[in-house]
Amino acid sequence: MRYYPALLDIKGKICCVIGAGTVAQRKVNSLLNAGANVCVISPTLTEGLKKLFKNKKISWIKSGYRKDFIKRAFLVVAATNDNKINRRVWRDAQKLKLLANIVDSLSQSNFIVPAVIEKDGLIISISTSGKAPCLAKKIRVDLAKQFLPRYAKSLKLLEEVRRELKSVCPKGAIRKSILTKLINSNIIEEYIKRGSRTKFKINKDAP
């Protein structure tokens, strides 16, 4: 396995996107969805990015790329159509020890972005290690149709159960055992199928 799978907390962190085309706009949107403080570095912006800038959702350095612009960044994404600029971003990011993704260049990236589906806190990431991104997207669509709605409902219910268990059962090992048995049974699935609106209750007097 070449890549180490991880989910990053980038809330409030500076993330720079170099470039301002449709690919850059897509990268900006995904970073914003994760709560990042996004800075776009480009002489121009797409209409969509202009709107985000006017609404103060992103910051904009109206200029060509310079190393100084990314010094305070947590991660950078190079999404320009100029390979020379992309290579410069990669070299600078290496020197500054930054996380960097150079779009469409695995050899010049120290992280890649998987295809993702998300609903109510459930996040499923799919990657083909850059070998066939189109297949990752197809798998994402299939998973979204077949599994996401069901497991998102299970997650919501299990979150409630776990919260209540914490208040009545101080021992973490016992809580884990109860939740594991619950997940591996058909109780949660049957509860969801019946569309029960009553709150899932823990019997505090049970042995």
The residue from 61, 90, 113 where one domain ends is 113
Does residue 96 fall inside a structural domain?
Answer: yes
Number of domains observed in the structure of the chain:
2
The pLDDT assigned to 121 comes to 85
Instruction: With a cut of 60, say whether residue 130 has pLDDT above it.
Output: yes
The residue from 113, 137, 172 where one domain ends is 113
Based on the domain organization, do 27 and 107 belong to the same domain?
A: yes
Does residue 125 fall inside a structural domain?
Answer: no
The pLDDT assigned to 200 comes to 58
Which range (18-27, 46-55, 125-134) has the least confidence?
125-134
What's the chain look like in SS3? Answer: CCCCCCCCCCCCCEEEEECCCHHHHHHHHHHHHCCCEEEEECCCCCHHHHHHHHCCCCEEECCCCCHHHHCCCCEEEECCCCHHHHHHHHHHHHHHCCEEEECCCHHHCCCCCCEEEEECCEEEEECCCCCCHHHHHHHHHHHHHHCHHHHHHHHHHHHHHHHHHHHHCCCHHHHHHHHHHHHHCCHHHHHHHCCCCCCCCCCCCCC
Residue range(s) defining the domain that contains residue 55: 14-113
Chain segment 70-87, per-residue pLDDT in tens: 999 999 999 999 999 999
The CATH number that applies at residue 40 is 3.40.50.720
Based on the domain organization, do 98 and 28 belong to the same domain?
A: yes
pTM of the model: 0.79
Q: Which residue has the higher pLDDT, 31 or 132?
A: 31
